[in-house]
Amino acid sequence: MDTDLKEEISRLPEVPPDAAMAYKQHLGEMVEKVNNRMRRRPELDLLIGGNPVSMMFDNHRNHGLFMSNVFSLNEYALLLNTIPWVYRAYTGRGFSFNYFPAHLQTWRDVLEETLAPDSAACLDAVYGWMISRHEKFIQLSKQSHDRTMEPDAQWRPVYEQFLQGLLSADRQASMAVAKKAVPDLARLNDFYIHVVQPAMYAVGAMWERGEISVAKEHLASALVNRVMAVQYIELMESPEQSKGKAVVTATANEFHEIGAAMVANALEADGWEITFLGANTPSEELLEYVSASGFDLVCVSITVPFNLESIQNVIQAIRTWPEGRQPKIMIGGQAFGGYPELPQKLGADGFAENPEQAVALADQWGKAIC
Ligand code: B12
């Protein structure tokens, strides 16, 4: 993280809860206004590099959600990784760097017009700061990608073959690599952490640079899901004795589910009774389900920072339950990369970086639960 920027954001005004709430409440309306103003700009085609206008609308929606999280959590550090990423991802697809100050200035105008002056003023200071650091964010966006993962030397050949299989849509080759590398459950977590995870990060980096299409990325995800399903069916055994009941899911609006599935499978292999809910479980539904079924452990995955607030809401709701009925809450996923203090700030009992750590932490808690 850039130290000068880190210093600067520490001086930005803290957003009062009512201003954060006003931003959230008016979000739909503000996105609409920003979309309408931006689409009318005569130089739009140049700004968005001839891309469909829906791609720009997507960014406005994601930007609004993200800023809403930044304001509600009062966590400006999130800006420092995310803004360079947004610059890189969109310019990789042909957007001009000039698009960013243009849309941020439009947000400023819309904020001023939509919110009460007090609320608008402190949020405006943050937007003003983002615009003033445009050149710096361009520079940062051109630096190395932070979302790649160097595979362990021992696993590199398997990783390379697996990645090749994914990129060339070769189902049989991917399956064969997985079968050979994971003859039994003991190798499963290593395969997840040293092969599948870096391979999917590489796929993501290629997508981010505009080197592969969304279709190719979808295909890689689908293949990984199939490989994991086959491994699950062939290798998973019923435990003799349950270590406890755990539910694993990705939070509301979170469509990334492969990491959560790995955690679910790793815990199940370790003897936990697992309910895996997959992606995008609405918070209210999750709370109802956990409350009705009496789980010992709730594991939630978050990849994109604009979904952080939803897990905070879930945690806060669980904390109001009678003590004996409160499950342990473990969180994980890429949204926490570079923010070690965030899981605690959100109120979770613990954070784990990967399935291996998740198993170790759950086992540590399990002893206390049982
Ligand atoms: C596949 C993919 C998708 C698929 C997901 C399909 C699926 N079935 O899961 C789809 C197409 C849905 C998708 C959508 C989007 N994606 Co996407 N996606 C990816 C990609 C290429 C791979 C994700 C993955 O499976 N990684 C592998 C897993 C194993 O890694 P992991 O999640 O980190 O999990 C490990 C740990 O974090 C941990 N862990 C994970 N969860 C948990 C939970 C607990 C409890 C614990 C203890 C541990 C733990 O354990 C895992 C194993 O070690 C990534 C690239 C990347 N870097 O991951 C981009 C990526 C995550 N996506 C990205 C983006 C931007 C998006 C979109 C916003 C794009 C858009 N404009 O619409 C949307 C978001 C939609 C939404 N609301 O969620 C960006 C995020 C950047 C950022 N700064 O936030 C990435 C990084 C791509 C990139 N390089 O730019 N995506």
Closest CA to 5 of 137, 145, 127, 138: 137
Return the half-sphere exposure (C-beta side, CA atoms, 13 A cut-off) of residue 138: 12
CA of 254 to the centre of ligand 1 (A): 9
Query: What pLDDT score does 369 carry?
Result: 58
In a domain, 260, yes or no: yes
How far is Cα 125 from Cα 108, in angstroms, rounded to an integer? Answer: 9
Of all protein residues, the one whose alpha carbon is nearest to atom 87 of ligand 1 is: 204
Q: Mutation test of ligand 1: which of 256, 307, 346 has the most ligand atoms closer than 8 Å to its C-beta?
A: 256
Residue 294, helix vs strand vs coil: coil
196: phi then psi, degrees, rounded to nearest 5: -70, -45
Tell me, yes or no, whether 162 and 119 share the same domain.
Answer: no
Tell me, yes or no, whether 124 and 30 share the same domain.
Answer: yes
Boundary residue ending a domain (109, 142, 175): 142
In a domain, 240, yes or no: no
Of all protein residues, the one whose alpha carbon is nearest to atom 44 of ligand 1 is: 332
Check pocket membership of 333 for ligand 1, CB cut-off 6 A: yes
Residue 262, helix vs strand vs coil: helix
CA of 303 to the centre of ligand 1 (A): 5
| CA torsion angle 66 71 74 75 (round to 10) | 20
pLDDT in tens, 256-292: 999 999 999 999 999 999 999 999 999 999 999 999 9
Indicate the burial class of 354 (C-beta count within 10 angstroms; 0-12, 13-18, 19 or more): middle
Domain count, the chain: 3
The atom number, within ligand 1, closest to the CA of 89 reads 90
In a domain, 148, yes or no: no
In a domain, 280, yes or no: yes
Query: What pLDDT score does 143 carry?
Result: 85
Check pocket membership of 237 for ligand 1, CB cut-off 6 A: no
Tell me, yes or no, whether 64 and 130 share the same domain.
Answer: yes
Cα Rg of the chain (Å, integer): 22
CA of 306 to the centre of ligand 1 (A): 12
Query: What pLDDT score does 367 carry?
Result: 64
Q: Which residues in the chain show pLDDT less than 50?
A: none
Residue 245, helix vs strand vs coil: strand
Residue 250, helix vs strand vs coil: strand
Phi-psi group of 13: left, alpha or beta (phi > 0 → left; psi -120 to 50 → alpha; rest → beta): beta
Of all protein residues, the one whose alpha carbon is nearest to atom 32 of ligand 1 is: 259
Please give the structure tokens belonging to residue 140.
């940062």
Neighbour tally for 206: CB within 10 Å: 20
In a domain, 302, yes or no: yes
Tell me, yes or no, whether 211 and 311 share the same domain.
Answer: no
Residue 62, helix vs strand vs coil: helix
Tell me, yes or no, whether 107 and 170 share the same domain.
Answer: no
Tell me, yes or no, whether 322 and 289 share the same domain.
Answer: yes
Tell me, yes or no, whether 226 and 271 share the same domain.
Answer: no
According to DSSP, residue 52 is labeled -
- CA 357 to the chain's CA centroid: 19
CA of 334 to the centre of ligand 1 (A): 7
Q: How many residues belong to the chain? A: 370
Of all protein residues, the one whose alpha carbon is nearest to atom 11 of ligand 1 is: 218
Tell me, yes or no, whether 109 and 185 share the same domain.
Answer: no
The atom number, within ligand 1, closest to the CA of 335 reads 84
Of all protein residues, the one whose alpha carbon is nearest to atom 85 of ligand 1 is: 204
Check pocket membership of 261 for ligand 1, CB cut-off 6 A: no
Report yes or no: 99 and 107 within 8 Å, Cβ to Cβ: no
Of all protein residues, the one whose alpha carbon is nearest to atom 67 of ligand 1 is: 304
The one-letter amino acid code at 363 reads D
Query: What pLDDT score does 2 carry?
Result: 75
Check pocket membership of 352 for ligand 1, CB cut-off 6 A: yes
Domain containing 302 equals: 245-369
Closest CA to 100 of 65, 70, 127: 127
| CA torsion angle 142 148 149 153 (round to 10) | -80
Query: What pLDDT score does 238 carry?
Result: 79
Boundary residue ending a domain (187, 215, 235): 235
Report yes or no: 232 and 172 within 8 Å, Cβ to Cβ: no
Check pocket membership of 58 for ligand 1, CB cut-off 6 A: yes
CA of 292 to the centre of ligand 1 (A): 29
Residues 6 or more apart from 200 whose CB is under 8 A from it?
A: 220, 221, 224, 258
pLDDT in tens, 200-245: 999 999 988 888 999 999 999 999 999 999 999 999 987 778 899 9
How far is Cα 144 from Cα 167, in angstroms, rounded to an integer? Answer: 22
Boundary residue ending a domain (142, 172, 193): 142
Of all protein residues, the one whose alpha carbon is nearest to atom 20 of ligand 1 is: 204
Of all protein residues, the one whose alpha carbon is nearest to atom 61 of ligand 1 is: 303
